[in-house]
Structure 1
Amino acid sequence: MPRGVWPATLAPVAQVLDHGLDLDTVTVFVGENGAGKSTLVEAIALAFGMGPEGGSTMSGHSTRPSESPLWEHLALHREPGAPKSGFFLRAETMHGLFTFLEQHPGARPEPVFHERSHGESFLDFVIDRSQWPGLWILDEPESALSFQGCLALIGLLQAIVDDGLGQVVLSTHSPVLAAFPGATIHEVGEWGLRRSAWADLDLVRNQRAFLNAPEQYLRHLDAAADGTRPPTQ
């Protein structure tokens, strides 16, 4: 992929194209909006054969193509005997995926996910497929989940990993999900990818500082609204 063409203009994408990336049993990407983490996990899912809007390998689910061509330039290498199946679940397109599943039922009955709440249906999907071995890729699942829901998702995915049934790749803005036990965390930004400890993440430091003194951040929003000062801390 030419380095002057998006998404290779993003430092994390260029780093992966130039040097590759080893995925661990649980790999977590964190970073600001637009940094490239969702672009990376989407490309991994597509290179593995999953639908761009979610689903299993060979699902074929797609409504409005918007994915980058990055996946065409990635080569995934599996360990001998590794499962070839997988699941891609992204919060922004999950309801479209659930409609696709209703319209294309498999041989076995499964939950009607639309009859559950946003977060409940997300967790139900993981529960329903938790006995299928493979690669689990989740893009910002906290969009569908409460605090307790995030903890429940970690528990479900941890059980899948502990049973030797899966490998997890996760993109998130949630410090809760980023705390996945034993995960390798990559902080994504203008520097590219850098491995980080949970406590050292900007995500964790910023949210901890906000929770300790929210007024220090919120007062700048009022100042920005009346034009007296920029919204910086």
Structure 2
Amino acid sequence: MSFLKKITVHWERVAGKDTYPFNIPALKSLQELDTNYNVVFFIGENGTGKSTLLEAVAAKCGFGLLGGGKNFVFNEESSPTFEEILSLAWLPKVTSGFFLRAETFYDFACRLDQMAREDGGVVYAPYGGSSLNEQSHGEAFLALFNNRFNRQGLYILDEPEAALSPQRQFAFLRIINQLEQKGKAQFIMATHSPIIMAYPGAVIYSFDGARVSRINYEETEHYQLTKAFLNDRERFFMHLFAD
């Protein structure tokens, strides 16, 4: 079940459109983005604006920018975001959810440990009952997905595949499917994984190029490069290593 129906960008609120992050090519032309789908993927090379937009939506929802939900917000310094020029259209509006940022997950887990020392470990309950830092990176991610993502909400994930082996990426897709089928969750994710973005029925937005555009899975560079490599890796390496 989708909750966040549309993201609207109000460029009239921007004074310096030539400054970062407002001058990112794909974002400069963005007016509205249809998010009325259960699973939405943002894809593109690093620096194309997908994480910038994800962070702005997470901030607009009141989620902690190092990771977490509405009850896990600290005084966090961050670079300018799109939050100030976004409006979000909901039906129905949900107040719960989570923002996972792979690159700051360790900091999030450390803050969780700090809170656990103060409350005797009660804070671990929604995360599987133990410290996320006492597990492997992949185990910690799955513990988060299996336990924290069990309530109705919007889940915003930035590169969730970072700690997941291919086998665990399939386990992650199963979790998404179980929550989606129960009408409990909407997912908006930035990913480079051709496994994850192959999720059935998902909508894919590419941030490569001058504008954000919707594309089919088979049109993604991730799919095409992976397929070409697996079909003929010897020829692939011959061209790659040619002088």
TMscore range, shorter length: 0.7 to 0.9
Q: What is the match of residue 194 of structure 1?
A: 213
Q: Is the 8 A contact 1:10 1:190 kept in 2?
A: no
Aligned counterparts of 2:44 and 2:73: Cα–Cα separation in 1: 29
Point out the more displaced range, 103-112 or 201-210.
103-112
- More moved, 209-218 vs 71-80: 209-218
One-letter code aligned to 2:66: E
Question: Is structure 2 residue 51 aligned with structure 1 residue 33?
Answer: no
Q: Residue 233 of structure 2 corresponds to which residue in structure 1?
A: 214
Q: Within 1, Cα distance between the matches of 2:66 and 2:239?
A: 37
Q: Structure 2 matches for 1:83-162, cutoff 5 A?
A: 83-105=94-116, 107=122, 109=125, 110-162=129-181
Displacement of 1:177 in angstroms is 0.6
Give the counterpart letter for 2:25 in structure 1.
Answer: A
Q: CA deviation at 1:67?
A: 3.5
The aligned counterpart of 2:61 is 48
What is residue 69 of structure 1 aligned with on the other side?
Answer: 81
Gaps of 5+ in 2: 1-13
Shift of the alpha carbon at 1:188?
1.3
Secondary structure at 1:167 match in 2: strand
Taking the aligned partners of 2:67 and 2:114, their CA distance within structure 1 comes to: 15
Report the TM-score when normalising by structure 2. 0.83
Q: Secondary structure in 2 aligned to 1:21? A: strand
**TM-aligned CA deviation for residue 130 of structure 1:** 2.5
Identity of aligned residues (%): 35
Q: 2:72 aligns with which of 59, 84, 89?
A: 59
Q: Which residue number in structure 1 is paired with residue 23 of structure 2?
A: 9
Q: Deviations over 1:191-219 (max 9, x none)?
A: 31111111111211011112223344434
In structure 1, distance between residues paired with 2:240 and 2:219: 26
CA contact (8 A) 2:29 2:210 kept: no
